[in-house]
Structure 1
């Protein structure tokens, strides 16, 4: 394990916090996505060593203006074409979380830029969420024709869970350099997803359950679900990046 050279001081609520030496090795990591990552300032330490879904969720919904932002995004998500603005908001939020290292809700400003950000988000969504689900739907149809209806249902549910995690991993990967060529490295994104799958599948399942429960209000369920999942996933991957930076 690489030596850990962390300054170990963070300003939180006006107090200086120093990481105990006994805990510092946990920040050392030989982890690598086998590609270049943007260095993250190690002096910013958020929440805990590893973000916990329940804590991220509670902190997110307690942010000032959360319900208003969710209401606006949910309403926009109901309308085709207009929902691109909601996509843009989710994209901006993912970048803001990646930069700040904590849950954050950006304001609804610069609507022309928001639309362009929505197109970027939509491109990742089409490639790594919708396309996998379309392929899974074809396989599900074939299984049903073979009389394996129960298996086809389980397969498609699993495909939805996997698509959620695959998509948010691809979005984080794209945010690294804002280069669409990075999305062509499917193997890397699959490895990212597989590595974090044990920690992301339950949040994905919770979000999927909420989406199904609020299906008649699909705009709110879609926007709110991805708002939560993207926030948590961004913090997870940022934590790994930070560990990798500290270990150098």
Structure 2
């Protein structure tokens, strides 16, 4: 299981890492075009899922990036954005003031791992119905909690620190986070098959 430090050494060994990440951050700002950035993160996720060393792809195959981005977007809306929106709405209606934010904390924390687990299930056969295997999602999240806790907290912290420049920390942190999450679930699958 690679650590964030090992992943960052591989990313920073690419002479064009800053340019590639800056392109992703800029594309994340532009509606519709930001789907390309999600596709890039999905390709990074697939590298972790197949246990390959992380290599930042070139920004040259826009068709593949767009299709992969749509996949990421659909799964992301269902398993991260929708739960966050529903809990936020419920908390605002049911509670008043700062206490309304408390129910949102666990949902924000679990959004990344649940999204990643759903992406993993989807990526096995490219079938969206596989994402809704609640039993598999539960097993994946329980058995890998020790592995995703620190990366998730680090990713959330990076996004919160960079709230003003949100697309840049989201994309840059996502490069590391989604690679580690893909690798985490691949490692679990390998251990279960033994």
- In the superposition, the TM-score normalised over structure 1's length comes to 0.71
How far 1:143 moved relative to its partner? 4.4
Quote the Cα distance in structure 1 between the aligned partners of 2:100 and 2:147: 25
Give CA deviations for 1:177-217 in whole Å, capped at 9, x if unaligned: 11112112133213212221232122111111111111111
Quote the Cα distance in structure 1 between the aligned partners of 2:56 and 2:161: 24
How does 1:1-248 map onto structure 2 within 5 Å? 50-145=1-96, 149-245=97-193, 247=194
CA contact under 8 A between 1:140 and 1:153: conserved in structure 2? yes
Quote the Cα distance in structure 2 between the aligned partners of 1:55 and 1:68: 20
- Pick which of 201-210 and 76-85 moved more: 201-210
How far 1:100 moved relative to its partner? 4.5
Distance 1:129 1:141, change over 3 A: same
How far 1:70 moved relative to its partner? 0.7
Quote the Cα distance in structure 1 between the aligned partners of 2:6 and 2:100: 35
- In the superposition, the TM-score normalised over structure 2's length comes to 0.90
Quote the Cα distance in structure 1 between the aligned partners of 2:126 and 2:15: 29
CA contact under 8 A between 1:140 and 1:155: conserved in structure 2? yes
Distance 1:170 1:109, change over 3 A: same
How far 1:240 moved relative to its partner? 2.3
Quote the Cα distance in structure 2 between the aligned partners of 1:51 and 1:59: 11
Aligned-residue CA RMSD (Å): 1.9
Gaps of 5+ in 1: 1-49
More helix per residue: 2
Distance 1:70 1:133, change over 3 A: same
